[in-house]
Amino acid sequence: MSQRQLTKDSQARTLRGWMLGLHATHIIDVGGRLGYFSALRQRDGRATAAELATAHDLDPWRTAVWCKAACTVGILRATDETADTAYSFAPFMDELLADNAPDLLTSHVLASLSRDYPGYPEAFRTGATKTFHDHDEDFFAHQGRISALRAPLILAAARQLPGVEERLSAGGTIMDIGSGSGTVLVSFAEAFPGCQVIGIEPLPYFVHSSRQRLAERGLAQRVRVESVGGEGMDFAQTADLITMVQVFHELPDTEKIAILHRCHHALKPGGSLLLVDRCAPESAQDIQDRRFSMSILEQWFEVTWGNIVNTRSEILAMLGQTGFSVSQENPDMVPTYWSFVANKG
């Protein structure tokens, strides 16, 4: 809709739609936490409110209210083919809200309800910060599942880089900065059985979970996770490839240059850094450009964490300042992110 077509009524409809979306998000959150979705699946996708309540010993009346609300926002649908109203998933909702759904939409919803928003007004007044590391393990678990989506994309992107496939196949080393739950480490270790893989991760929760994941996949002897932040890295000409995925904007602004220096130091001559992250808009035109929507919303979502999403120009300047030569930059290599390939001469 163009600016000329906007009316008070159309804008009111927009606001009501946003309010409905807020309710839908909470309905999904409650449905996942109370086990309504899993109970519905266990009954072949069809159950009454009483049956859903009985499955997890929940209040029947409130369960019925949830079912009706889930129908209103389009998650469920209701039928009266039996004496009691029966509920089933609306088309495709079972697939989209499944725990193993490719887009992990349920985890996105639960992570977005991190309970940070109630503290925003006070944080805006005082400048208080609650970093990523200050969140709880439930939040980390959902973030780990979301990050797993990117692992195959990062592997595919790395394989496009000149010489990377040959180096890693010949026993080279890849290092992943901010390795999180370890899914990128697993992807590279399994794709290149002869390569060495190093994860750099400061958060104890992810160090433990990634080491557990590696042990379960039989990779613990070939892949190691260093319990250290990027600022504590001390490797000299070790890696053929360093990946840094959705991590750069989470680094303290005062440490970004120092960590890029450490990455440069850790690379072998001719090695590459694959930096994948959001880029902030640089102009009013960028703000209106849909390519920047996720970057803008991510900065909003993390505004009280102390994270700063840099612009493309700022990232390029920092890479140049730390001795890198940027050979590629691509907003499409990994969808919705900017990718920078920076080389050590």
Strand 46-48 and strand 173-177: the pairing is: unpaired
What pLDDT, on the 0 to 100 scale, is given for residue 1? Answer: 43
pLDDT band at residue 106 using 50, 70 and 90 as cut-offs: low
Please, are residues 60 and 75 in contact by the beta-carbon 8 Å criterion?
no
Query: Of 65, 97, 113, which residue sits at a domain end?
Result: 113
pLDDT of residue 116: 83
Cα separation values, 140 from 95, 129, 133, 252, 257, Å:
23, 18, 9, 19, 26
Mean pLDDT of 209-228: 94
Mean pLDDT check: name the lowest of 74-78, 115-119, 293-297.
Answer: 115-119
Q: Binning pLDDT at 50, 70 and 90, where does residue 152 land?
A: very high
In the listed set 84, 113, 142, which residue is the last one of a domain according to the structure? 113
- My answer on whether 35 and 100 are in the same domain is yes
171 and 299 in a common domain: yes
Q: Which of 85, 113, 141 is the last residue of a domain?
A: 113
Shared domain for 201 and 331, answered yes or no, is: yes
Q: Half-sphere exposure of 42 toward its Cβ, with a 13 Å CA cutoff?
A: 11
Name residue 69's amino acid. Answer: A
Is the dihedral angle over the CA atoms 156, 160, 166, 167 positive or is it negative? negative
Tell me the residue range of the domain where 57 lies: 3-113
More confident call, 125 vs 319: 319
Helix (H, G, I), strand (E, B), or coil: what is residue 271? strand
92 and 169, same domain (yes or no) = no
Q: How far apart are the first and last CA of the chain?
A: 50
Q: Are residues 18 and 68 in the same domain?
A: yes
Segment 169-183 shows an average pLDDT of 96
Chain position carrying tokens 């909003």: 300
138-145, long-range: CB within 8 Å, 24+ apart, which pairs? 138/110, 139/111, 139/114, 140/203, 140/205, 140/206, 142/107, 142/108, 142/110, 142/111, 143/111, 143/180, 144/180, 144/181, 144/183, 144/206, 144/209, 145/104, 145/107, 145/181
CATH code for position 329: 3.40.50.150
Residue 299 is assigned to a structural domain of this protein: yes
The mean of the pLDDT values for the chain is 89
Name, of 2-16, 95-109, 286-300, the range with top average pLDDT.
286-300
Whole-angstrom Cα distance, residue 302 to residue 309? 9
- Would residue 333 count as lying in a domain? yes
CATH number at residue 65: 1.10.10.10
SS3 (DSSP) at 199: strand
pLDDT band at 315 (very low <50, low <70, confident <90, very high): very high
Domain contains 124: no
Count of residues in the chain: 345
Q: Where are the alpha helices (DSSP H) in 149-277?
A: 151-159, 164-169, 183-191, 204-216, 256-266
Q: Based on the fold, state whether residues 16 and 101 are members of the same structural domain.
A: yes
H or E element that contains 88: strand 86-89
Return the percentage of the chain with pLDDT > 70, whole number.
94
**Tokens of residue 335, six digits:** 């969808």
Residue 165 in tokens:
């496939």
How do residues 67-103 score in pLDDT, each as one tens digit? 999 999 999 999 886 678 999 999 999 888 876 554 5
In a domain, 71, yes or no: yes
Is the domain of 186 the same as that of 277? yes
Same-domain status, 107 and 191 = no
User: Which stretch of 29-43, 141-155, 200-214, 295-309 has the lowest confidence by average pLDDT?
Assistant: 141-155
Q: Are residues 172 and 267 in the same domain?
A: yes
| pLDDT band, residue 112 (cuts 50/70/90) | low
Question: Per residue in 240-286, pLDDT tens?
Answer: 999 999 999 999 988 999 999 999 999 999 999 999 999 999 999 99
Judge contact between 174 and 243, C-beta under 8 A. Answer: yes
Q: Do residues 239 and 315 make contact, with C-beta atoms less than 8 angstroms apart?
A: no
Q: Does residue 200 register a pLDDT over 90? A: yes
234 is a domain residue: yes
pLDDT at position 111 over 60 = no
Indicate whether 278 and 161 sit together in one domain. Answer: yes
Please check whether residue 170 lies inside any domain of the structure: yes
Q: Which residue has the higher pLDDT, 11 or 83?
A: 11
Stretch 198-216: mean pLDDT: 96
Domain count for the chain: 2
Q: How are the residues of the chain apportioned to helix, strand and coil, as percentages rounded to the nearest 5?
A: 50, 15, 30
What is the distance between the alpha carbons of residues 97 and 264, in angstroms, rounded to a whole number? 41
Confidence of residue 108 (pLDDT cuts 50, 70, 90): low
pLDDT digits (tens, 9 = 90+) for 24-55: 888 888 888 889 999 999 998 899 999 999 99
Give a yes or no: residue 100 inside a domain.
Answer: yes
Say how far apart CA 80 and CA 85 lie, in whole Å. 5
Question: Residue 142 — very low, low, confident or very high, per pLDDT cuts 50/70/90?
Answer: confident
Q: 133 lies in a domain?
A: no
Specify whether 311 is located in the same domain as 193.
yes
Distance CA 290, CA 296 (A): 10
Same domain, 178 and 91: no
